[in-house]
Amino acid sequence: MPRVKNSQIALALVCMVLGVMLSVQFKVQQSVASSTALQRTEDLARRLREAEKDREDLQKEVSDLRAKMAQMAEGKNVIANLTSELDRTRVMAGLVDVFGPGVVVVMDDSKRPRKPGEDPNAFIIHDDDILSVVNELRAAGAEAISINGQRVVTTTEIRCLGPVISINGVRTAPPIEIIAIGDPQTLEAGLRIRDGIIDNLGVWGILVTVKREEKLVVPAYKGPVRFQFAQPVKKE
């Protein structure tokens, strides 16, 4: 009987020890699990903060790139507008070749026999005859004009030098070919107006022909462009 009792006591002690050990192990596992979960939570929070910072940095970079692209687009528009304005100015100044519809006017000295006493100078082309034709073409809307290959610009001079005619400082002689770009019908009508330049020249037998064309080329002005006294006015 004492042995049985002792065995029961020993078994109870063993069970008590095992219970304590299991309780301690459970608490240790809970502590470890809690510590691991806390570490993971802190790690996730840190990663979230880093991701949010990266997102803010990327958003700022995108905003900066969009601003730069807008500035570049605005700069390109400014350059395109300036280039277009420069091209238009060069066309108006006669510094580039141009093409379009228009008329070809050919003038030549009179072939009519002169009567005794008539002035021979009345039967040849003079600078003022050419200038009159050019003025009529301009009045009819000509946008570009050339005379025997010389572009007519604001500084063009047309004058007689003895038996020859000087245009832009280049000597030429009849026949005179004038090319004008504009509405062909209007240009021809301006020259053929009753008692106009063609009728007046025809009195002396000076030959003037007008031919409409759908595509003509007027060359650019090749002479020097110098302004010694004229200066642009600066706006305040």
Total domains, the chain: 1
pLDDT reported for residue 178: 97
| Any domain includes 212 | yes
Strands of 164-167's sheet, edge to edge?
158-161, 164-167, 170-172
| Any domain includes 170 | yes
DSSP string for residues in 176-201: EEEEEES-HHHHHHHHSSTTSHHHHH
pLDDT reported for residue 216: 97
pLDDT reported for residue 177: 97
Please provide the average confidence, as pLDDT, over all residues in the chain.
82
| Any domain includes 162 | yes
Residue 128: domain span: 99-218
| Any domain includes 179 | yes
Choice between 207 and 55, residue whose per-residue pLDDT is larger? 207
> Of 21-30, 88-97, 191-200, where does mean pLDDT reach its minimum?
21-30
- 3-class SS at 99? strand
- Domain harbouring 203, CATH code: 3.30.70.1880
**What pLDDT, in 10s, does the model give residues 9-41?**
666 666 676 666 666 666 656 665 566 666 777
Residue 91 has pLDDT above 80, yes or no: no
| Any domain includes 196 | yes
Choice between 76 and 188, residue whose per-residue pLDDT is larger? 188
Tell me how far apart the alpha carbons of residues 71 and 73 are, in angstroms, rounded to a whole number. 5
